[in-house]
Amino acid sequence: MGEERTMKKKAIKPLLDLDLPRVKPRSFVEWKTLRRWGQLPGSERGVPGYLLRLAREEAGLTQTELASRLDVTQQAVAQAERWQSNPTIAFMVSWMRACGRELDLGYRKTRTQNVERRT
């Protein structure tokens, strides 16, 4: 029976190392803490809504103050700060400017070199 348990542990361990996206959203406080500790999984580092909220909080603005600067409602700001939000790049640029920040987007080649091209 001891050998069976060891085999199960070995089979489960690789699954724990996968960087799978979360099904249930993480709270902002937990996300912010894990980010500060450098422990966020790669799939969670760029959650747009939480990055927007972080920028607003660091700028010392309330949702109402930011909404006024963006000429939108406070509810629109609250909605944009959610885990599931999907703001446009133009909206994010405006948001960051209103917070005294600059949006920096980029991309890089993945580690996998053998990418098939379909024509």
Quick: pLDDT tens for 2-24: 555 555 555 555 544 566 666 77
How distant, in Å, are the alpha carbons of 14, 19, 20, 71, 107 from that of 11?
Answer: 7, 16, 17, 54, 34
* CA dihedral angle for residue 107, residue 39, residue 83, residue 25, rounded to 10 degrees: 130
pLDDT computed for residue 87 by the predictor: 96
How distant, in Å, are the alpha carbons of 35, 79, 100, 110 from that of 53?
Answer: 13, 10, 13, 28
107-117: pLDDT as tens digits: 888 887 665 66
Tell me the DSSP string of 74-113: HHHHHHHTSTT----HHHHHHHHHHTT----------S--
Region 40-60: what's the mean pLDDT?
A: 94
pLDDT computed for residue 27 by the predictor: 94
Is the per-residue pLDDT at 1 higher than 80? no
- Whether residue 63 contacts residue 19, with contact meaning beta carbons closer than 8 Å, is answered with no
CATH architecture entry for 47-102 = Orthogonal Bundle (1.10)
pLDDT computed for residue 112 by the predictor: 73
pTM: 0.73
